[in-house]
């Protein structure tokens, strides 16, 4: 006989109960990390809220409302919207390729009235939604069947190709890694994984010759030896290393950084903001932020493990892995351990599209938590 909680879980959860079920400890952690970002943007601007800290705070407030609203929507609704949301994101990427706004040598933004949207950021979330729904509908072991796997790979390949055309290698890499991680978590056989890894290794020379743009090749060569063009292509990473190293153990103190405030470091408010933390708060401050991030990731894994449904587990793990990849790639990038690829530090770097999509992602994660006991059929078209 089904337990009482399980029977109750099939029914609609009252809004008041949903608000009570939100993991407010995780929300507090997210807010703390965002506040670190506000402080760093304030410092980077020389002790001023404009032009970065104030707008970022406003975006976070809007994002906070989005998080709570998304968390209260039944997880079965999100499952029903998964494929339409994915399709809409693909259309936005196509529209961006046709009539997008060009900035910093890339065509990544599309104007929607007064808003400038970066569709690739939205795709990071909608791809996870669509893959989670597709994999949820498969029986155990079916993902290793060639036709089923081909559909999943197509879901990943389409946005990866469109984002790479912008060009945006960093985000395309994130999409590919996050999607493949979900396939692994869904039980993809090692008989597929091992040959695929070998195939990727073999394809690298071809990608270098025919896929990568000249500036992307320059980034790789600069990564291997920044000193070859320290005043040109190697400037960013050289200055980032100087900033991190000059912070020492405990840093120069809040507002005491020089690399960013004296404009030695380009993109100081976005991709390289972690260097400001290292310079002003040193190794200890940087580790404190990484511990906060690690705690958020722990909460994400815990939420995934507590979900009754395969859809909820995969979605929560996908969102958590995506968040982890953001942090790992940005951190390794500013330390010179991987080539510069233009990935922001989540919740900390300045950016509207990134902030909104990260908060939307956390809202979905919270929805999985709130509805963790809800029964989600394998072939649901939406709310039941």
* pLDDT value at residue 5: 41
pLDDT at res. 3? 39
**What residue segments make up the domains of the chain, in order of their start?**
13-370
Q: Is 106 left (phi over 0), alpha (psi -120 to 50) or beta?
A: beta
Below-70 pLDDT ranges, the chain: 1-12, 102-107, 112-114, 208-216, 218-219, 221-234, 260, 262-263, 379-384
Q: What pLDDT is recorded for position 211?
A: 66
Tell me the C-alpha distance between 167 and 296, whole Å.
31
**pLDDT tens-digit map of 131-174:** 999 999 888 788 889 899 999 999 999 999 999 888 788 889 89
Tell me what pLDDT residue 187 has: 85
> Would you state the pLDDT for residue 103?
63
| Burial (Cβ within 10 Å: 0-12, 13-18, ≥19) of residue 286 | buried
pLDDT digits (tens, 9 = 90+) for 40-72: 999 998 889 999 999 999 999 999 999 999 999
Predicted confidence at residue 24, as pLDDT, reads 94
Quick one: pLDDT at residue 90?
A: 96
Model pLDDT, residue 9: 44
Residue written as tokens 């963790």? 372
């Amino acid at each position: 006989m089904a337990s009482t909680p399980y029977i109750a879980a099939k029914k609609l959860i009252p809004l008041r109960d949903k608000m009570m079920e939100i993991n407010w400890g995780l929300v507090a952690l997210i807010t703390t990390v965002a506040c670190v970002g506000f402080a760093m943007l304030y410092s980077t601007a020389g002790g001023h809220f404009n032009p970065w800290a104030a707008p970022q705070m406003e975006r976070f407030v809007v994002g906070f409302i989005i998080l709570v609203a998304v968390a209260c929507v039944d997880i079965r609704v999100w499952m029903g919207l998964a494929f339409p949301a994915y399709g809409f994101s693909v259309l936005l990427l196509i529209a961006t390729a046709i009539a997008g706004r060009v900035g910093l040598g890339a065509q990544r933004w599309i104007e929607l009235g007064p808003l400038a949207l970066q569709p690739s950021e939205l795709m990071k979330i909608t791809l996870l939604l669509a893959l989670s729904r597709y994999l949820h509908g498969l029986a155990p072991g079916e993902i290793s069947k060639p036709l089923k796997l081909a559909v999943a790979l197509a879901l990943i390949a389409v946005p990866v190709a469109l984002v790479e055309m912008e060009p945006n290698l960093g985000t395309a890499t994130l999409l590919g890694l996050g999607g493949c991680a979900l396939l692994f978590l869904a039980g993809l056989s090692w008989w597929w994984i091992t040959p695929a890894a070998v195939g990727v290794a073999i394809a690298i020379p071809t990608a270098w010759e025919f896929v990568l743009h000249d500036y992307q090749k320059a980034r790789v060569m600069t990564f291997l030896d920044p000193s070859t063009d320290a005043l040109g292509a190697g400037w960013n990473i050289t200055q980032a290393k100087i900033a991190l190293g000059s912070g020492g153990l405990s840093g120069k103190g809040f507002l005491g950084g020089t690399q960013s405030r004296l404009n030695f470091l380009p993109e100081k408010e976005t991709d390289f903001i972690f260097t400001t933390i290292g310079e002003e708060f040193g190794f200890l401050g940087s580790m404190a932020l990484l511990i906060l991030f690690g705690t958020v990731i722990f909460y994400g894994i815990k939420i995934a493990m507590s979900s009754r449904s395969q859809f909820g587990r995969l979605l929560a793990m996908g969102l958590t892995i995506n968040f982890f990849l953001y942090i790992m790639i940005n951190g390794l990038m500013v330390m010179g351990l991987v080539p510069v690829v233009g990935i922001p530090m989540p919740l900390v770097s300045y950016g509207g599209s990134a902030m909104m999509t990260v908060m939307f992602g956390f809202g979905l994660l919270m929805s999985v938590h709130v509805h963790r006991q809800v029964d989600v059929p394998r072939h649901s078209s939406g709310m039941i």
